[in-house]
Amino acid sequence: MTKSILVINGPNLNLLGTREPDIYGAETLADIKDRMTEKAASLDLEVDFRQSNIEGEIVGWIQDARGRHDAIVINAGALTHTSVAIMDALLAVGIPTVEVHLSNIFKREEFRHHSYISSVAVGMITGFGSAGYLMAVDAVKNIVK
Ligand code: CA2
């Protein structure tokens, strides 16, 4: 049966392709969604791709993922560095999670070096731009096979 990936994008990622292309690339989030969906389909995986600027909405999506999705791919944006609530929700549902960042968070400001997501994720892909989302599809395929 086709497995399903919930892809969660956090605050400001809806601005991709419009500002700061030197850091985050020129592609829009819709471009990333299309490429990821195509790659997933080639591996017999389904993608439910979402973005929210609201922490509580993301927590709700994670809670509702139980029984609906087999893996989570998350770029929590700035909430990566602040949200105990997202970490707790991921812990509570226990769905295998892959953390993705466009930029290499360890090459940037000190406050971006700590991630609350990492402690509950299977692993993290950081610094490969939008290609990281495609790498995450491969990672999920390995995890759920
Ligand atoms: O590198 C990443 O993917 C980040 O998760 C992006 C977050 C940042 O706070 C994290 O430290 C690392 C920021 C997302 C904001 O995206 C924008 C895109 C275009 C223009 C402005 C912001």
> What are the pLDDT digits (tens) for 47-88?
999 999 999 999 999 999 999 999 999 999 999 999 999 999
> What are the pLDDT digits (tens) for 19-42?
888 888 889 999 999 999 999 999
Q: Is 75 in the pocket of ligand 1 (CB under 6 A)?
A: yes
Continuous segment of H or E residues that includes residue 48: strand 45-51
Q: Which amino acid appears at position 144 of this protein? A: V
For the chain, how many structural domains are there in total? Answer: 1
Nearest CA to ligand 1 atom 20: 19
CA–CA separation, 3 vs 71, rounded Å? 8
Instruction: For residue 114, indicate whether it is catalytic.
Output: no
Continuous segment of H or E residues that includes residue 134: helix 131-144
- Looking at residue 144, its pLDDT comes to 96
Q: Is 102 in the pocket of ligand 1 (CB under 6 A)?
A: yes
Q: How far is the CA of 23 from the centre of ligand 1 (A)?
A: 8
- Looking at residue 79, its pLDDT comes to 98
Mean per-residue pLDDT for 89-106? 98
CA–CA separation, 26 vs 44, rounded Å? 28
Q: How far is the CA of 40 from the centre of ligand 1 (A)?
A: 23
- Whether the pLDDT of residue 145 is over 90: the answer is no
- Whether the pLDDT of residue 9 is over 90: the answer is yes
Mean per-residue pLDDT for 108-123? 98
Q: How many CB atoms lie within 10 A of CB 103?
A: 18
Instruction: For residue 69, indicate whether it is catalytic.
Output: no
| Domain housing 66 | 3-143
As a residue count, the chain comes to: 145
- The domain spanning residue 33 has which CATH number? 3.40.50.9100
